[in-house]
């Protein structure tokens, strides 16, 4: 899916959401705006699952362009069939492949202007939380640190609301990564230590590698100075 195809796809779907949704509830106003809408086709058939499975295969093979095209087609079919939860999942995967290609603007647009609106429309707090997490990651990679911090914070707020401890730990580590980029090493260390304590309290080891990775980003001199 090239950029012009993506723009047409987003605009098409956007008209649908605009007609169905008068408001998009957010926890707060984000530090930047943007609004694209999306429309559904009149097709009754749904080949979304087939497209989605093929897209996953292509993503694993590293054929990202084909994966983008197929995730886009899957999203279109799910939207046409009014399978909005699957539609949101396809959009998130589409965004992720754009992210893997460092297409940060496209990755942002799919989540901010389409997936997040869809999850808000169907009342999926889990979907909104995952959207916030994805946007935090995208903005971090794009070096838009204020926006990244905002969305990781929103992820943490929703994670607490729905009792998702793992997602909350992810948000804390996300915030630590932002603070490291901002060279706020002491505050980042506190977040890393907090994530570590939370992981131990929840008796989970799945964050061990991530905690080690984020901690390794703090300059050794800073760590040594802190110990001194």
Residue 223 lies in a domain: no
Query: Would 144 be classed as within a structural domain?
Result: no
DSSP class of residue 31 equals S
Does residue 187 fall inside a structural domain?
no
Low-confidence stretches of the chain (pLDDT < 50) are 1, 4, 7-8, 11-12, 14-29, 32-45, 224, 228
Tell me, what CATH number does 63's domain have? 1.25.40
pLDDT for the residue numbered 11: 45
Host domain of residue 83: 3-124
Cα–Cα distance measured from residue 96 to residue 186, given in angstroms and rounded to the nearest whole number: 31
DSSP lists the bridge partners of residue 38 as 13
Angle at 78 between CA 124 and CA 40, to 5 degrees: 100
- Residue 15 forms part of a structural domain: yes
Q: % helix / strand / coil in the chain, to the nearest 5? A: 75, 0, 25
Total Cβ atoms within 10 A of residue 125:
14
Residue 150 domain-assigned?
no
- Asked, for residue 74, whether it belongs to a domain, the answer is yes
Q: Looking at the 3D structure of the chain, how many domains does it have?
A: 1
Give the pTM: 0.80
State the virtual CA torsion across 127, 106, 5, 18 in degrees, nearest 10. 50
Residue 213 belongs to some domain of the structure:
no
What pLDDT does residue 220 have?
78
pLDDT at 223: 53
């Amino acid at each position: 899916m090239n950029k012009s195809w993506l723009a047409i796809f987003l605009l098409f779907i956007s008209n649908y959401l605009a007609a169905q949704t008068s408001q998009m509830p957010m926890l707060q106003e984000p530090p930047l705006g943007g609004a694209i809408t999306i429309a559904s086709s009149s097709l009754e058939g749904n080949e979304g699952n087939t497209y989605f499975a093929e897209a996953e295969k292509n993503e694993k093979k590293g054929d990202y362009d084909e994966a983008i095209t197929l995730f886009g087609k899957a999203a279109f079919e799910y939207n046409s069939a009014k399978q909005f939860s699957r539609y949101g999942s396809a959009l998130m995967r589409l965004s992720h492949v754009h992210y893997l290609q460092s297409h940060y603007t496209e990755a942002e647009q799919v989540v901010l202007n389409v997936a997040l609106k869809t999850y808000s429309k169907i009342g999926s707090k889990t979907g909104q939380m995952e959207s916030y997490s994805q946007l935090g990651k995208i903005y971090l990679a794009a070096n838009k640190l204020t926006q990244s911090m905002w969305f990781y914070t929103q992820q943490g707020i929703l994670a607490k609301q729905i009792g998702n401890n793992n997602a909350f730990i992810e948000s804390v580590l996300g915030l630590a990564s932002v603070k490291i980029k901002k060279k706020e090493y002491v505050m980042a260390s506190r977040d890393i230590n907090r994530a570590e304590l939370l992981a131990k309290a929840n008796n989970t080891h799945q964050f061990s590698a991530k905690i080690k990775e984020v901690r390794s980003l703090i300059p050794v001199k800073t760590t040594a100075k802190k110990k001194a």
